[in-house]
Structure 1
């Protein structure tokens, strides 16, 4: 039986094969953040001469790309990208996701919004029937932390400050357990409208277009329902 690390390596390699047809001398790829994205970057480096560079969703990923000799572009320099590749903490059959376990949710959402398609790469443990077992990360402006937490409690959540953590944007993360996420896009909009919220880790209004899911039987490709 393959370990979770081996499954991640397998799906990272599959993701590189998926993006190869989009590569070209003028192409900038979007790259996410996390342990699976790290493996994707490592595998992508073997093809660094086939594309222009990458836009990263975190300082961590930017450093890893640069270490492999891949040019990293500020997103303000990028007009568009054919594809953005990133992992997920949870994903349902509709390719709605919870992201932000690594704290890069806001930049992930921004970079993904510039790409023509979002490809989620994950191992089979991330596929769930309903989102919410993984606490929902919410990036907040520090002065609003307590007021946002009170609003989340009224929604049935149990928010907890991610202690000692500051995002690349200089903000804080509330990890919220106990939310009943029946309609992910509606909850995403509701939370994002709370004053002081930068963004929440629900990716449902604009979820993944394609998911590559590593299983013991191989890598499955799932598509977002139209």
Structure 2
């Protein structure tokens, strides 16, 4: 990651917290390097008293641990049935604000939390903006470990190149849910995201995929120039 990207991620994260989070909110807390800056800013504003009565549901064990270390109160769905706002990152954002997420391995919990939120603010640096999904990042597909071997050939029949995600030691990567993940590469990008999502999620043994279609209400983009740009659903290209 270049120095500008880290600065851009921080700028986007700080802007999102400063402009969209209000005292009393129940938040969905995403996963990833940009969300780390979101947690940092939330903690700062809670400590100064600028924000009060904030609590969140984390989308991963890593986010939960970081939030607890920073003193951010956490909830579960035993406590609340809906959230005011979800703040999360993305691996790709297209002109309609559709997303590919899941390179951090938390796509299932991220989608559950996003679906339970009244709005979703996505924080990214400008390198994540793409003309078509699937052109920059693979599409993660989380599958049950039982019968995981059956999915590779089927995914290839869709015209994609599936790669089972592995750890640095060469072992299959295991999500917080105890599942495996295939990273699916689309040679020409994803032409029809809705069709792809329906086909993949209709497959027995597939838990979820990383297409987030129609979830984002705003995207906060940190630019290499140092500026922050906000795109909203009403501003679709």
Q: TM-score band (shorter)? A: over 0.9
After superposing the two structures, state which structure 1 stretch, 153-162 or 46-55, moved more: 46-55
Shift, 1:2, TM fit: 6.4
Shift, 1:178, TM fit: 2.2
User: What residue is the counterpart of 1:190 in the other structure?
Assistant: 199
Change (3 A) 1:196 1:36: same
Partner SS state of residue 9, structure 1 = helix
**Distance in 2 separating the partners of 1:77 and 1:149:** 39
Alignment deviations for residues 46-76 of structure 1 (CA, whole Å, 9 cap, x no partner): 1235123110000000111111111111123
* Structure 1: unaligned runs, 5 residues or longer: none
Of the three residues 150, 160, 165, the one matched with 1:162 is 165
CA contact (8 A) 2:60 2:109 kept: yes
TM-score, normalised to structure 1, is: 0.93
4+ aligned runs moved over 3 Å, structure 1: none
TM-score, normalised to structure 2, is: 0.89
Q: How many residues align?
A: 222
Superposition RMSD in Å: 1.6
User: What residue is the counterpart of 2:183 in the other structure?
Assistant: 175
CA contact (8 A) 2:42 2:72 kept: no
**Distance in 2 separating the partners of 1:79 and 1:2:** 39
Shift, 1:188, TM fit: 1.3
The residue correspondences of 1:1-150 to structure 2 (distance < 5 A) are 3-20=4-21, 22-24=22-24, 27-48=25-46, 50-133=52-135, 134-150=137-153
User: What residue is the counterpart of 1:207 in the other structure?
Assistant: 215
CA contact (8 A) 1:148 1:195 kept: no
**Distance in 2 separating the partners of 1:51 and 1:13:** 19
Shift, 1:218, TM fit: 1.0
**Distance in 2 separating the partners of 1:11 and 1:193:** 35
* Structure 2: unaligned runs, 5 residues or longer: none
**Distance in 2 separating the partners of 1:46 and 1:87:** 20
Alignment deviations for residues 126-158 of structure 1 (CA, whole Å, 9 cap, x no partner): 000011121111100012322222221000011
